[in-house]
Amino acid sequence: MLEIYKIPVHTPYPVGPVNSYLVKNQPYTLIDPGPETAEAKQSLAEGLTSLGVDLKDISRVILTHSHSDHSGLARWLNEIAGARIYVHQFEIRKLTLDYDFYQERLSFFQEAGMPTEALKEILNDSDPVGKPVLPDTGVTILSGGEALRFEGGALLTMHMPGHSDGHICLYDQEGMCLLAGDFILKHITPNPNMEPDPINFTARLPTLNQYLGGLDLLENLNPRLILPGHGNNIDNSREAVKKAREHHRERLKALTSVLENNSISVYQLMRFYYPQIKGFEIYLGISEVFAHVDHLLAEDRIIKRKSSGVSLFKKKSGCSSG
């Protein structure tokens, strides 16, 4: 049986603390150690001490995804404890020093019709935490479907994209417990982050479609307990899946009605919903709207036309089926 303990770790982000998890079976393993800040190091060290574990006892670090609130301390644990780091292949490039998150998404911002001023606003909203970077050695690349073994149990890696394309969840089959990272949270809906296709960088991944597919998997798995990357545990996984599906269904419905008589860009749609948001939140808003319009387009419910490189969307006219 695996012994899994939650350690809330301080982050400077509006989301609040990130949940790091210690698997206290040999080899001692941390899932998502937290961001690379002095406060996070302190909360992690104190949390481990209260569980009778020293930082140097950590042999493995598993990252659910590359976001800095989850991944930043991985390299530090590799340095001070020699911990091996496990991460999905699609997150590797995002954890290198040269990785330029916005450059990779520039063509999507242009397609969204984003004004230069708004793009500048995003770029000027610098991350309070330095870029998370993997060490040169000691990294194991995952694809999903691996069994990571412990004395007394195992965690199965599950590739669950939609929030980040290389996002994994970890399943303890015996305890029917899912370590879910940011795939599903109790009180907020994870952002379907805009992602280029790692095979063809000019194309956008169908993030909402991927996410809804993951919800189907989660519904079938029906874990007894979900341990999320932020906030409280989820003890009714079917209810959480239902709520997440409803959120997106409502949003798709609302978007379709806005597009009824208008032919508008993703940036205009985003401003319709979020007139006041600033900085990095503009990126999150654009990501969310793109995820939804891409989904509606794939379902043939809206049409797209291009005008000066900007995609304009409108509800499909014609007969509606009952």
Contact positions toward Zn ion, by CB under 5 A?
Answer: 67, 69, 182, 229
Min separation Cβ 68 and Zn ion, Å: 9
Q: Contact, 4 vs 179, CB < 8 A? A: yes
Residue closer to Zn ion (CB basis): 85 or 259: 85
Least distance from Zn ion to the Cβ atom of residue 240, Å = 16
**Cβ closest to Zn ion, residue 161 vs residue 229:** 229
Nearest distance, CB of residue 182 and Zn ion, angstroms: 4
Nearer to Zn ion, 182 or 288 (CB): 182
Q: In what order do the strands lie in the sheet with 147-150?
A: 147-150, 153-159, 168-172, 177-181, 225-228
**C-alpha 289 chain-centroid distance:** 16
Nearest CA to 254 out of 271, 273, 276 is that of: 273
Cβ distance 55 to 266 under 8 Å? no
In the complex, what is the shortest distance from the CB of residue 92 to Zn ion, in angstroms, rounded to a whole number? Answer: 16
Q: Which is nearer to Zn ion, 181 or 206 (CB)?
A: 181
Q: Residue 294: is it exposed, middle or buried by C-beta count within 10 angstroms (0-12/13-18/19+)?
A: buried
Rank residues 113 and 229 by Cβ distance to Zn ion and give the closer one: 229
Q: Phi then psi for 195, rounded to 5 degrees?
A: -135, 135
Pairwise CA distance, residues 10 & 18, whole Å = 7
What is the closest distance, in whole angstroms, from the C-beta atom of residue 191 to Zn ion in the complex? 8
Residues in contact with 315: Cβ distance below 8 Å, sequence separation at least 6, in sequence order: 256, 259, 260, 261, 301, 302, 303
Nearest CB to Zn ion, comparing residues 193 and 265: 193
Say how far apart CA 65 and CA 87 lie, in whole Å: 7
Report in angstroms how near the CB of residue 11 gets to Zn ion at its nearest.
Answer: 8
